[in-house]
């Protein structure tokens, strides 16, 4: 076998993980409280890049610390800072867009393959997704992150937070039974260099 001769000399090895997670960020009671607050605020049709299309089928509600959720923002902040320091080490500012509560219902609500970044938007560095519904209450609705064609299925346990770079291709598979509720948000920062 011929040995490949590579004349390059790299300064650094890639230290960025595909994703990180933290289980039981929220208890069952806290998850139910968030769902109640979001649904009471009212739900609107989820859109993608400012338009309704067939990539996404769900309803959403925007949540902020002023919605009696300062405790939730504090927990999320602590976990995100810990996971970022351990797995990504991105230069980040905060949750400048609030939290997006998303409700997916059977027989086919979903969010097709997409990334969470776009030209002319805030610089989203990390995306987070928190599972609010007990996975026994629905079928389908898997969050899949793609490094390759197959993809990686994320944990579905209630209260679990998944954090990943916002340039990662991902999707939420169709919910085929029941309904799935989640919180998503984007951690912003300076332009990537």
* Residues 83-92 pLDDT 10s: 999 999 999 9
Look at residue 51 in the predicted model and tell me its pLDDT.
58
pTM of the predicted protein model: 0.91
Q: Taking all residues of the chain, what is their mean pLDDT, rounded to a whole number?
A: 93
Three-class SS of the chain: CCCCCCCCCCCCCCCCCCCEEECCCCCHHHHHHHHHHHHHHCCEECCECCECCCCEECEEEEECHHHCCHHHHHHHHHHHHHHHHHHHCCCEEECCCCEEEEEEECCCCEEEEECCCCCCCCCEEEEEEEECCCHHHEEECCEEEECCCCCEECCCCCCCEEEEECCCEEEECCEEEEEEEEEEEEEEECCCC
Stretches in the chain below the pLDDT threshold 70 = 1-4, 49-52
**Domains within the chain, CATH numbers bracketed:** 20-189 (2.60.120.620)
Q: pLDDT at position 46, please?
A: 83
Q: pLDDT for 13-44, tens place per residue?
A: 888 999 999 999 999 999 999 999 999 999 98
């Amino acid at each position: 076998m011929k040995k490949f001769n590579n004349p390059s000399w790299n300064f650094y090895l890639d230290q960025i993980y595909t994703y990180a997670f933290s289980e039981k960020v929220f208890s069952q009671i806290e998850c139910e409280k968030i769902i109640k607050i979001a649904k009471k605020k009212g739900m609107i049709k989820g859109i993608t890049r400012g338009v309704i299309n067939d990539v996404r089928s769900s309803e959403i509600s925007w949540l902020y610390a002023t919605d009696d959720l300062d405790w939730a923002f504090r927990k999320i902040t602590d976990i995100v800072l810990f996971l970022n320091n351990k797995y990504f080490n991105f230069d980040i500012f905060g949750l400048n867009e609030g939290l997006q509560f998303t409700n997916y219902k059977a027989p086919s609500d979903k969010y097709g393959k997409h990334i969470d970044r776009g030209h002319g938007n805030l610089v989203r560095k990390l995306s987070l997704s928190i599972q609010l519904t007990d996975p026994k209450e629905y079928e389908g609705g898997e969050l899949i992150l793609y490094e390759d064609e197959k993809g990686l299925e994320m944990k579905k346990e209630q209260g679990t937070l998944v954090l990943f770079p916002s340039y990662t291709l991902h999707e939420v598979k169709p919910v085929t039974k029941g309904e799935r509720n989640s919180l998503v948000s984007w951690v912003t920062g300076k332009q990537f260099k």
